[in-house]
Structure 1
Amino acid sequence: MKNTRRHFLHKITASALALTVIPRLGMAGLPDMTEAPYDGPVLRVAIMGLGGYGTRVAEAMKDCKKAKLVGVISGTPSKVKAWQEKYGIPEKNCYNYDNFDNIKNNPDIDAVYVITPNALHHSQAIRVAKAGKHVICEKPMALNAKEGQEMVDACKKANVKLLVGYRMHFEPHTLEVIRMRQAGEFGKILFFQGLCGFKAGDPGQWRLNKELAGGGSLMDIGIYALNGARYMIGEEPVWVTAQETKTDPQKFKPGVDETIQFQLGFPSGAVASCLSTYSMNNLDKFFLNGDKGFAEMQPSTGYGPIKGRTHKGELNQPVVVHQTLQMEEMSDIILHGKQPVVPVNGEEGVRDLKIMDAIYEAVKTGKKIALK
C-alpha cells in the first residue's frame, strides 16, 4: 500500500469519516443544537482531481448544509463515471483537463476545488478564475511565491475569491489554543516546536517527482509546521535558517528534500524550531511555550481527533470532520464575506510560499535569510 502523507495521517488517527459531525459551533465552542434547519444559499462545488484526498473531501461534503458537490474534473473517465454514480453528478457537470474552461458556461457550478499535484495548481487555478468561478486550492497553493502571487492577481482580476485548503484554521482545538494565546493565558510567547513527518513509501509516487511535487517533505508535510508556527505564535517571522539531511539520494532525487530542519525568528523575540521529513514516522506534534503556560497538541494536524493539553488541563473541544467544517466555513466566506479567525485566502498562501522560498535558499546557502 502506498505510504503517502494522507495514508499516514489517516493511519495515526481515527477515521475522520467515522467521527460525529458537528455542523455548527455555538457558545464556548459547543454545538448549537437549537439552530433551525439551514435554508440559505449553498456553495455548489466541482472537485478537480479525484484521488485519495478528493474522495475524502467528497465524503465529508455529504454532511455539509452550506456546500454541495455538484461537478467533477478528471483526466480518468472511469473515475468520472464512478463519481457520477456515487454522488449523483449529472453528465453536464463533468469535465476533463482539456475542456474544463467550459465551466464558464455552466451556471450550476460556483467554485472549483483544485486537488491535483502541486505543480499543476498554478495553471489550473488561473484557468478556473478566467472561467469566472471561485477557486479553492489545496496547499501548497503553488511551487513558489511568484506563482502564488500570479494566482492571487488572476483571481482579483476575474473578481473571484481564492481560498487555500488550510483545514486546521477551522479546527476547534486549534482555535482554542489561539484564543488562549490571544487572551494572554500563555503570557509572553517564547517558543514553538512543530514536528511533521512520515516514511514515504512508493518511490514512484508523484510526491517524490520533482516535476509534479516541486519539492519534497517541506512542501508536502512541513507546510503544516510552517503555517502552524505563524498562527500559534501570532506573528510573521523576520528571519529563517535551515538545514537539509538526505540519507537516501536514490529515492530522494535532486530537488526532492527528504528531511529539512528550519528555524524561524519573530519580531517579539519568539523562536520556532521545526522538522519536516519523509524518513521518520510518529511525527505530528505542536508545542507552544510562554512565560505563563504552554500548549501541546499530538496529533496536531492529522485528520482527527486532534488531541491536546495546556497548563490548565486537557483540551476538550468538539470533534469534527475537518473537511466538512472547512467547506461549511468556506461557503460562508465565499457567499457571505465571513472573516475567519485565521485567514485562508490566497495572500495567506503566498506568505507561506515566501517563507518556503527562503527556507530553500537557507538550505542552499547555509545563511540566515532575512524575510521582508
Structure 2
Amino acid sequence: MNSRRDFLQKLGVSAVALQLGTVHVWANDKNASHQPYDGKVLRVAIMGLGGYGTRVAGAMQYCTKAKLVGAISGTPKKLTDWQDSFNIPAKNCYNYQTYHEIKNNPDIDAVYITTPNGLHHDMALAVAKAGKHVICEKPMALNAKQGQAMVDACNAAGVKLLVGYRMHFEPHTLEIIRMRKAGEFGKILFFQGLCGFEIGDPTQWRLNKELAGGGSLMDIGIYAINGSRYMTGEEPIWVTAQETKTDPVKFKEGVDETIQFQFGFPSGATASCLSTYSQNNLDKFYLNGQKGWAEMQPSTGYGPIKGRTFKGELDQPVTTHQTVQMDAFADILFNGAQPPVPVDGNEAVKDLKIIDAIYLAVKTGKKVDLNLS
C-alpha cells in the first residue's frame, strides 16, 4: 500500500498544497496573528473520494481548526487507501449503504459531500437525519426546489448547512469587496464573469444530465453567478440567456456546452457572463464603477489568484483555499463567526434560483424576472 506522501503526490494534492502554502486569513490583513489554536476542532468525514474530495483531504492536513477523521465511498479500495494515507480509523469509514450509521459515531461532527451534483440532495437529507452538520459542494443541488428541501431538512434536524464557497475566504477577492463597500469604485456599473475550459472525457459524470444537472453552467458557471452577486453587492432582478452548442454528440440534450447570460440589478448595474466547456483561458472577473475598476485573472481557480485595480496590483496573501475554508467553517459552526460573504444553504438557494431562471431564459428566449428575497 502506498505511503501517505506517495498517495498525495500521485493525486497531485501535496504538490499543490506545498506550492500554495496556507495563510489562515479571511481578508487582507498581512499582519494577522497566528496564535496556537486550543479551541474545539471540527471533525469531518468526506463523502465522495474523487478528485475534489482528495484535494480537500490534502488541504485539510494543514488545517488548525478542522481535521479529517472519516471517509465515505462506494469504492472499497478508496476507503482502504484513505485509511492508510490520511490515518483514518476503519470505524470511521462507511459505504453508501451504511453511512446513515454515522448517527452512532460521536467522533464525526460534519460530513462534506463532494459527490456529483445529482447526489447532493438525498445525501444531505440522510446526513442531516443522522444529526451531523452538512457541508456540501456547489452547486448545492440540481434546482432551487431541491436546495430549499436541503435547507429545511437541516433546520428540522437542528444541524447547520454550509456550502463550499471557497472564494468567499480568498484574500484578493475580499480586498475588492472591501474596496467596493468602502465606495472606492463609486457607483457600480458593470460586472463581467468569464468561466471556461475545454472538457475532456465525454463519458465523465459532468456530461451526464442525471448526475450533473446540466453542463458548463452547473459546473463553472456557478462561479460567475455567485461572483456577480458578491462583486456588485446586489441581487439580480432579471436575467436573459443564450445557449450555443457546436458539438451535439458530446453535449447531449440537457447538457449545455456554452451559455451566455446577462443580469440586471436594482441600481441599474448590469452583468455579462459566460460559461463554456469548449474554450480554455477563461477565468476572469471584471468590475467597473464610476470612480474605478478591478480585474481578477485568474479569478476562481485553485490558485494563485491574481488581481489588480485602478490603484495598482493587489498583493494579498496566497492561500490554499480549501484549508482556509475548512478552518473558517469550524469558526462558523463552533464560535458563531460571521463570514464576510455568506456560505450557508440560503446563499446557495439564491444561486440555484438564478440557475433555474437562466435555463428558463434559454428555453423561452425571454427575459426572466427574479425575486431572491
Q: TM-score, normalised by structure 1?
A: 0.95
Aligned to 1:6: none
Task: State whether residues 25 and 169 of structure 2, in contact with CA within 8 Å, keep that contact through their aligned partners in structure 1.
Answer: no
Task: Say whether 1:283 aligns with 2:294.
Answer: no
- Cα offsets for 1:136-169 (capped at 9, x unmatched): 0000000000000000000000000000000000
- Cα offsets for 1:289-321 (capped at 9, x unmatched): 000000000000000110010000000000000
Q: CA deviation at 1:32?
A: 2.7
Correspondence 1:126-275 to 2 at 5 A: 126-275=125-274
Q: CA deviation at 1:24?
A: 4.1
**1:32 & 1:340 partners in 2: Cα distance?**
16
- Matching residue's letter, 1:360: Y
Q: CA deviation at 1:20?
A: 2.0
Q: CA deviation at 1:36?
A: 2.6
Q: CA deviation at 1:184?
A: 0.2
**1:214 & 1:32 partners in 2: Cα distance?**
41
SS in 2 for 1:15: helix
**1:204 & 1:325 partners in 2: Cα distance?**
33
Task: State whether residues 118 and 141 of structure 2, in contact with CA within 8 Å, keep that contact through their aligned partners in structure 1.
Answer: yes
**1:106 & 1:336 partners in 2: Cα distance?**
22
Aligned to 2:21: 20
Aligned to 1:7: none
- Cα offsets for 1:53-111 (capped at 9, x unmatched): 11100010001010000000000000000000011111110000011000000000000
Task: Say whether 1:89 aligns with 2:91.
Answer: no
- Cα offsets for 1:178-217 (capped at 9, x unmatched): 0000000000000000000000110000000001101000
- Matching residue's letter, 2:223: Y
SS in 2 for 1:333: helix
Aligned to 1:30: 30
In angstroms, what is the RMSD of aligned CA positions? 1.2
Aligned to 2:5: none
Structure 1: segments with no counterpart, 5+ residues = 1-9
**Identity fraction in percent:** 75
SS in 2 for 1:286: strand
Q: CA deviation at 1:37?
A: 1.0
**2:108 & 2:63 partners in 1: Cα distance?**
16
**1:275 & 1:57 partners in 2: Cα distance?**
27
Structure 2: segments with no counterpart, 5+ residues = 1-11
Q: CA deviation at 1:360?
A: 0.1
- Matching residue's letter, 1:251: K
Q: Where do 4+ consecutive residues of structure 1 move more than 3 Å? A: 14-17
- Cα offsets for 1:90-133 (capped at 9, x unmatched): 11100000110000000000000000000000000010000000
* Residues 1:187 and 1:23: Cα distance change in structure 2 (over 3 Å): same
**1:324 & 1:21 partners in 2: Cα distance?**
7
**1:75 & 1:89 partners in 2: Cα distance?**
16
**1:25 & 1:49 partners in 2: Cα distance?**
27
**1:195 & 1:31 partners in 2: Cα distance?**
33
Task: State whether residues 243 and 362 of structure 1, in contact with CA within 8 Å, keep that contact through their aligned partners in structure 2.
Answer: yes
Q: TM-score, normalised by structure 2?
A: 0.94
Task: State whether residues 17 and 60 of structure 1, in contact with CA within 8 Å, keep that contact through their aligned partners in structure 2.
Answer: no
